[in-house]
Amino acid sequence: KAGVTQTPRYLIKTRGQQVTLSCSPISGHRSVSWYQQTPGQGLQFLFEYFSETQRNKGNFPGRFSGRQFSNSRSEMNVSTLELGDSALYLCASSWDTPSSGNTIYFGEGSWLTVV
């Protein structure tokens, strides 16, 4: 069974540019969430999608956005990149049903470097 797949794994962008990261959840998982990981701030929740709807959003500026498609695949976008956006961006998926336990599984992440 394939895990959570994230692309690209590594990318370098210039300040002011925008970036789009992609995530394919585990087959059958309907909830997709995104986290940012940095040495200084640790793991922080960005947002979560279910059935193409954003259900909750973390405390990040509007430059960070996302969406989910009908096949549960998700993308996140960061516009007007800043140096501080350099981080590991992690996608996670879960069944999102109480009976299944809602266990959250993470992908390997996308390493973004802003120069």
Residue numbers at the binding site for another protein (CB under 8 A): 4, 31, 33, 35, 42-45, 48, 50, 55-56, 58, 90, 92, 94, 96-98, 101-109
Write out the H or E segment, with its range, that includes residue 55.
Answer: strand 53-57
In the complex, what is the shortest distance from the CB of residue 105 to another protein, in angstroms, rounded to a whole number? Answer: 6
In the complex, what is the shortest distance from the CB of residue 4 to another protein, in angstroms, rounded to a whole number? Answer: 8
In the complex, what is the shortest distance from the CB of residue 53 to another protein, in angstroms, rounded to a whole number? Answer: 11
Calculate the alpha carbon distances from 99 to 25, 49, 85, 103 in Å. Answer: 19, 19, 37, 10
CB neighbourhood size of 8 (10 A): 12
